[in-house]
Chains A and B, each alone.
Chain A
């Protein structure tokens, strides 16, 4: 199965959100751009590295920022959404909040 196209990236994100009980950002224009970013990263790196972080291009070094990243849950717990503003908690989504830039949690970056 190709994971390099925007529809595939969209399906991937929808599947992750569904399995984790998360909601996708309702701003469709914003997340379509993130889907394009995920697809682009899959084409150039071979995996869905976070579109909001610069990847090294080596899976082992980027393992913590492969979507959904290792920082997604703690960011959701603190801010209600992931670093990229892609995955929202149910509570945050129901509150109608808009995801914003949040501090980077990744050590050393």
Chain B
């Protein structure tokens, strides 16, 4: 489990493991990524980092850097708490999540 709250859960009939998306409410590729998961019927959670209060936002960024050893760029996918992908590539995301 991530240490931070603020995630919104999108229900779906496909269980592809725990999927958490760190996104910006203004980012086109973030929107595409979220739309892709919805289209696939996948259950996932996401947060819009830009809409967090400044201290919480910094805390999320610090956590990502500390836990995954990389900066938070968007969209940022965390699969089962361990594997991460930065940016949205439909083929790459499909492969990682086992989606056809």
Binding site for B on A (CB under 8 A): 30-31, 33-34, 36-38, 40-41, 51-55, 57, 84-86, 100-104, 108-109
Contacts and interface: CB of A to CB of B under 8 A. Distances in A.
A85 B29 CA distance: 9
Interface in B83-99: 86-89
B10 interface: no
Interface residues of B, number: 23
B26 A41 contact: yes
Contacts of A55: 50
Contacts of A103: 87
A33 B88 CA distance: 16
Interface string B57-72: 1000100000000011
A103 B29 CA distance: 12
Given A100-B89, A109-B71, A40 B31 contact: no
